[in-house]
Amino acid sequence: MLETERLRLVCFDAKYAKELFELWSDYEAIKYTYTPLMTTINESINFIEHQINRTDKSFQDRFVVLLNHKAIGMGGCICMDKENSVFGLYYQFSRAYWGYGYASEAAKALMNYVLDKHLNAVIKADAVSVNPASIAVLKKIALKQTHIEEKGFRRNGFELDLIHFSNASFS
């Protein structure tokens, strides 16, 4: 478990499926992610169980974000390259909790968690070019833009430029 001033980040668990279903059934909240749009809580349970099965048992990398014991989002820092300590940061929050700084607070906690465990870790993240809120989060936690991948994000027939960020001076 990770704690910030306002949030608790706990291990991914199906007991949060109903609250996370609120997030994953809202197309506006997930349209710039690869998370599937869900129509039933069972889909949410199955998705959580699938993610838990993908988790590296030696390193907790997926979390549910709680505010006053309510799941308001999720995030993680997945190991992309163990040999070179490269991790991919991500987060998603229910729309009711946008604009309060929770994403920045959780993302910073996730990044610090990885850097505490892997001193020279490279943290990477990306945001689509039309999502200024996510870009602001990544800049606020001191990640630097490394490059733009034209049409790097594809979902439901649309393509958007993907802006890549990292804590390293290279990407």
Give the model confidence (pLDDT) of 157-167 as tens digits.
889 999 999 99
pLDDT of residue 170: 56
Give the model confidence (pLDDT) of 51-97 as tens digits.
888 776 667 789 999 999 999 999 999 989 989 999 999 999 999 99
Write phi, then psi, for 33 (nearest 5 degrees).
Answer: -125, 175
Domains of the chain: 2-166 (3.40.630.30)
pLDDT of residue 171: 46
CA-to-CA separations, 98 to 15, 91, 95, 103, in angstroms, rounded: 23, 12, 5, 8
Distant-in-sequence contacts of 129-132, Cβ < 8 A, 24+ apart: 129/160, 129/161, 129/162, 129/163, 130/32, 130/160, 131/32
Give the model confidence (pLDDT) of 14-37 as tens digits.
999 999 999 999 999 999 999 999
Give the model confidence (pLDDT) of 86-141 as tens digits.
999 999 999 999 999 999 999 999 999 999 998 899 999 999 999 999 999 999 99
Find the helix or strand (DSSP H, E) in which 123 lies: strand 122-128
> Other CB atoms closer than 10 Å to residue 63's CB: what's the count?
25
Indicate the Cα dihedral angle 115, 120, 121, 122, nearest 10°. Answer: 120
pLDDT of residue 168: 85
pLDDT of residue 65: 98
Q: Whole-model pTM?
A: 0.92
Residue 76, classed as helix, strand or coil, is: strand
Write phi, then psi, for 91 (nearest 5 degrees).
Answer: -160, 155
Q: What is the spatial distance between Cα 55 and Cα 60, in angstroms, rounded to a whole number?
A: 7
Write phi, then psi, for 35 (nearest 5 degrees).
Answer: -70, 130
